[in-house]
Structure 1
Amino acid sequence: MTRSKTASADKAPIVHAAEIVREYGPFAGADKINGVTHDGHNVWAAVGAQLIAIDPDSGQLARTIDCAGDAGTAFDGTHLYQITEARIDKIDPATGKVVATIAAPGHGRDSGLAWAEGSLWVGQYRDRQILQIDPATGQVLRTIETNRFVTGVTWVDGDLWHGTWEGDESELRRIDPVSGAVLERLEMPHGTGVSGLESDGAGLFYCGGGSSGKVRAVRRPKRATAAV
């Protein structure tokens, strides 16, 4: 249920209760979800020693890749990217081979990962930042400040969203990519964590559920318009 359909004059964010439409998992041997992405067909999740691909229609595993994954996952239309310790691996999903590696900007403190506009966007959990980096060199191109821990990042229809998780509270937040101001919040149920975030490019977000071992599909709200 939507608590507030329009932002107030003081730019208060629009707030909704997140609508979880489906849960996937837990899967055997996948005790924790560390990162999530979507390749246009399957949902991929980093579960520690593997990347697993989930068919979103059947909920069954479509395939697995032996690949360490400690945090965020992304897909650029051809390759997967996976944060592992202090590096980001570029992976050929057809073969599972690592074809390139760059240093992760947080040196092991990175969280979410997304691909957009030819760049990688990397969440910095404790620093409460999202960094735009060059996918070939790892050079930081831009820093976006936010006011909560970042546990997942995604772009969809020109909007920047990130997951946050502190204690038993977690949210999906749409923020202004220039100022970092919070524009919209989806409040997840109490005790439901968010570890990894990706859009399917349409009406759903996919959220990692941390130690629950689950991936959750959350309905993306239609863009609300602030009152004049």
Structure 2
Amino acid sequence: MPVSTAEIVREYAPLGSGGDIGGVTYDGRDVWAAAGSRVIALDPASGEIVRSLDCAAHAGTAFDGKHLYQIVEARIDKIDPATGDVLASIPAPGQGGDSGLTWAEGSLWVGHYRERKIYQIDPNNGAVLRTIESNRYVTGVTWMDGELWHGTWEGDESELRRIDAHTGEVRERLAMPAGTNVSGLEYDGADLFYCGGGPTGKIRAVRAPRRAAG
């Protein structure tokens, strides 16, 4: 199994008022981050915060092409990114122990931190469609080119891991520098992962591994 060192391309910090970054997502232009009592939007080119929504934001954040989804304690809120209004809520599968969140294939994918699991759920009612076992705490979830990745954070060590979406088998590992933790994960569709930095209030851009053509 390949293990390599993660290349941090850029660091955005600190964001907001020193609160934790609990989740990140990308809408094709801006990086959105969960920052406790706000969801903030960061322009990754300038590093400036360009939007701020006053809504609870405790853990993972996702974007489905139109709406934001935000883990808040034991629920997931569907949010209008233009107004910050909560349009609907569904129960979170980890009942408050949820961490990462992403959107793919018409479903939400939710990390369950200490249970070391990832759930595929129905975004309309929260029904669990699939459960994937991991062997590390799950702190962020994303898809890259049809492959599932998740962040880990145990002790002083964090990694980005590519896993088999059916068996949970680890296929690739990117080790973050010691003391550099991951509290959210999102692939930008090109060549970067965006990683939340937990209590540091930072977001880090990490080089995504290149894939061989064909």
Using the size of structure 2 for normalisation, the TM-score is 0.98
Q: Displacement of 1:61 after TM fit? A: 0.5
Name the aligned partner's letter for residue 149 of structure 2: W
Alignment partner for residue 70 of structure 1, among 58, 65, 75? 58
Within the alignment, does 1:139 sit opposite 2:127 as a pair? Answer: yes
Alignment partner for residue 41 of structure 1, among 29, 32, 43? 29
Q: Report what 1:149 is aligned to.
A: 137
Name the aligned partner's letter for residue 176 of structure 1: D
Q: Report what 1:172 is aligned to.
A: 160
Within the alignment, does 1:53 sit opposite 2:25 as a pair? Answer: no
Query: Is the 1:30–1:48 contact (alpha carbons within 8 Å) kept by the matching residues of 2?
Result: no
Cα deviation per residue 1:145-200 (whole Å; 9 max; x = unaligned)? 11100000001210100000001100000001111110000000000000000010
Q: Displacement of 1:222 after TM fit? A: 1.1
Within the alignment, does 1:32 sit opposite 2:20 as a pair? Answer: yes
Equivalent position SS for 1:49: coil
Equivalent position SS for 2:55: strand
Show structure 2 runs of 5+ residues with no match. none
Name the aligned partner's letter for residue 126 of structure 2: G
Which aligned pairs between 1:165-204 and structure 2 lie closer than 5 A? 165-204=153-192
Q: Report what 2:210 is aligned to.
A: 222
Mark the CA change 1:33 to 1:212 in structure 2 (over 3 Å): closer, same or farther: same
Q: Displacement of 1:27 after TM fit? A: 2.1
Cα deviation per residue 1:69-93 (whole Å; 9 max; x = unaligned)? 1110000000000000110000000
Q: Report what 2:151 is aligned to.
A: 163
Aligned equivalents of 1:72, 1:122: Cα separation in 2: 8
Query: Is the 2:16–2:201 contact (alpha carbons within 8 Å) kept by the matching residues of 1?
Result: no
Equivalent position SS for 2:37: strand
Name the aligned partner's letter for residue 88 of structure 1: I
Alignment partner for residue 87 of structure 2, among 99, 105, 108? 99
Q: Report what 2:68 is aligned to.
A: 80
Query: Is the 1:128–1:147 contact (alpha carbons within 8 Å) kept by the matching residues of 2?
Result: yes
Cα deviation per residue 1:84-113 (whole Å; 9 max; x = unaligned)? 011000000011100010011111010000
Query: Is the 1:163–1:173 contact (alpha carbons within 8 Å) kept by the matching residues of 2?
Result: yes
Equivalent position SS for 2:199: helix
Larger Rg: 1
Q: Displacement of 1:30 after TM fit? A: 3.8
Q: Report what 2:3 is aligned to.
A: 15
Cα deviation per residue 1:32-65 (whole Å; 9 max; x = unaligned)? 1000000000000101000000000000001100
Which aligned pairs between 1:98-137 and structure 2 lie closer than 5 A? 98-137=86-125
Computed over aligned residues only, the root mean square deviation of the Cα atoms, in angstroms, reads 1.0
Q: Displacement of 1:224 after TM fit? A: 6.2
